[in-house]
Structures are given as C-alpha cells and as structure tokens.
Structure 1
Amino acid sequence: MPDKVRPLRAAPRLGTVNGFGRTMLGKTRVDAQGACFATHWFTVLMLPIRPLGRYYVKEGETVDVPGRGGASTTTTEYVFLGEAELRASEVIRTYLFCWLMVPLVVAGPVTLFGLNADAFSHEHPILFLLLLLGLPIVGIIALAWLLVLNEKFLAPVRVPRRVEAGPANRRP
C-alpha cells in the first residue's frame, strides 16, 4: 500500500550538538527515484526520544565541516520532497534498534567480560585492557554494518503516492 506524500509546508530543522537535537533516523530503502522515507526525531545522546514527523527525502552528500580546536562536524544534506504520516512500525523499529540493540551489542559483551574477569585481569592485565577497550569498538563496527545492511537490503521499500494538500489531507 503506497504512503501518502503531501506537499511540504516547511523543511524541518535538523542539527545535533553532542547528540542532543533533531536528526533523521529510521530510513526505508531507497526507491526507484532515489528517495526514501525517514523519520525526524528529537534525540538525547543520539538516542531517539520522540518522533517529530516523517518525510519523503533524497539523501544528499555527507561532508565533514571543520570546527573549533581541530574538531569536525559531519553534516548530511537532505532534499525534502514531501511529508507523510508517521508509521508505528518504523517508530518501534527505531526504538528497538537504538534502545535495545545498541546497548546489547556495545555494553553487553563488556559487562559479561567484566563480571567474569577478576582472575584474568590479575594474570594478564594488558590483554584484559585490550579486550575491555576492543569489545566496544568491535560492537560499534558491527552496529554500523547492521545499519548499512538494513538500509540497503532489509528495510522495506515504501512507494510514495502524491496527494494534494486539501483540507482533508492536512495535519491538525
């Protein structure tokens, strides 16, 4: 069933500072026009708190913008083609991934390793530290791979259906 896409009234504000702000998450697979649906989220520490809207977008270039003190900011440009209704399945999938999968993959192995590592840490302290620091890095790489796998192959392709912005189709 196609998703209704209404003309855009105004593009949403995007931007995060140290993970606090507004960003696009929960993208579907790219369709034949090179666009996808993505949900606009309010985030805290890059964890989704509240969905703010859903849009039909084309993802543009991702660039690193130099900042102060040698830091840099990664910016992804979006072309907003329209707005759509929130989909509960996409909201739930985003919550589950960010609030369940991320902690399990990153913190889970470290926690299990730390709980069973008393003797190991005394006998092999350097190896213990390498594993303790390396496990989260491996988890983050695995999560990045899962995100790419999801966006390229697993997420559904949604078909847009353009509708006019008449009184019956306007959001309250």
Structure 2
Amino acid sequence: MPDRVRPMRTVPRLGTYNGFGRTLLGRTKPDADGACFATHWFTLLLLPIRPLGRYYVKEGATVERSTGPGASTSTTEYVFLGEAELRASEVIRTYLFRWVVVPLVVAGPVTVFGLNSDAYSREHPLLFLLLLLGIPIGGIIVLAVALGLREKFLSSARVPEWVGSGPPRG
C-alpha cells in the first residue's frame, strides 16, 4: 500500500545535544531513488518522547568534526522531499524498540548479573568487571546486527503516492 506524500509546507528543525532535541527515527528501507520515510521525534536522552511528523527524505553526507580533546560532533544532511501521515505501527515500533528492547538487551543482563554476583565479584574482581562491561557491549553488537538484518531482509521499501502538486522537480 503506497504512502500518501504531500509537498512540504515547512522544513522541520533537527538537532540534538547530548540526546535532547529533535531527530529522525524509524527510517524505512530506502527506495530505488535512495529516499525513505522517517518520523521526526522530540527526544530526551535519546529516548523518543513525542512524534512530531513523518517525512519522505533523502539522507545526505554525515560530517564529523572534533570540538576539543575527546569530544566531537556529527551532522547528517537531509533533503526533505515531502510530508506524510504518521503511521501508528511505526510510532509503536519506535517506542517499543527504544523504551523496551534496548534497555532489556543492554541493561537487563547487567542487572541480573550484578544482583546475583556478590561473592563472585569479591573473589574475581577483574573478571567481574570484564563481564559487567562486556555484556552490554555484546548486547549492543547483537542489536546492531539485528537492525542490519531487519533492514536488509525483512522490511520492504515504502512507495510514495504524491498528492497535490506531485514530486519536487530538480
């Protein structure tokens, strides 16, 4: 089923500082032109709080620059092609993934390990610390692989259906 896309009225503001601000989440698989649908979110600590809109976008280059010792910033350019209706399934999926799956995969095993390992931490402190740090890193790697496989094999690119004056020219 195609997604209805309208010409842009205004381009949304994007930008986060330490996970606070506005960003695009829940991107769909890019179509043949390299464009995808993404939901514009207000976030706190990288957690989605409120969806602000849904757009048909093309992702451009990401530029990273150092802002001092041990600090950097990255900026991704987007070309906004059109506006679309919010999809409840994408909003719910984003909430579940960011509020439930990520904390369970990253913090859940650490919590269980930490609660059940008082004696072990005293007898083998170095191994305890390695496991305590290794478990969430392993969880992050598993999440990254799962997301890559989902995008590559499971999700199909959404088809835009232009309404109004049609797709942008140029």
Residue identity over aligned pairs, in percent, reads 75
User: Paired residues, what number?
Assistant: 165
Mean alpha-carbon deviation: is it higher for 140-149 or for 35-44?
Answer: 140-149
Equivalent-residue separation in structure 2 for 1:70 and 1:112 (angstroms)? 32
Q: Name the structure 2 match of 1:102.
A: 102
What is the CA-CA distance between 1:111 and the residue it aligns to?
0.7
Q: Does 1:64 align with 2:67?
A: no
Q: Secondary structure at the match of 2:57?
A: strand
1:63/1:144 CA distance change after superposition, 3 Å? farther
| 2:158 match: secondary structure | coil
TM-score (norm 2): 0.92
The aligned runs of 1:7-86 (5 Å cut-off) are 7-86=7-86
Assess if the C-alpha contact under 8 Å between 1:27 and 1:151 holds in 2: no
In the alignment, residue 19 of structure 1 is paired with which amino acid? G
Give the secondary-structure state (helix, strand or coil) at the position aligned to 1:11: coil
Which one-letter code corresponds to 1:137 in the other structure?
I
Cα deviation for residue 154 of structure 1 reads 2.5
In structure 2, the residue corresponding to 1:114 is in which secondary structure? helix
SS at 1:164's partner residue?
coil
- Structure 2: unaligned runs, 5 residues or longer: 166-170
Hey, what's the Cα distance between the residues in 1 that align with 2:157 and 2:47?
24
- Give the conservation status (yes or no) of the 8 Å contact 1:65–1:72: yes
Higher mean displacement: 126-135 or 61-70: 61-70
**CA deviation map 1:42-85 (0-9, x unaligned):** 00000000000000011111221222444111221111110100
Q: How far 1:145 sits from its partner (Å)?
A: 2.2
SS in 1 for 2:38: strand
Measure, in 2, the Cα distance between the counterparts of 1:104 and 1:162.
39
| Secondary structure, aligned partner of 1:157 | coil
- Counterpart code for 2:48: P
TM-score between the two structures when normalised by the length of structure 1: 0.91
List per-residue Cα deviations over 1:4-46 (Å, max 9, x = no partner): 1000112111000000000000011111221110000000000
Gaps of 5+ in 1: 166-172
Give, as a single letter, the amino acid of the residue that structure 1 aligns with 2:18: N
SS in 2 for 1:10: coil
**Corresponding position of 1:147:** 147
Letter in 2 for 1:16: T
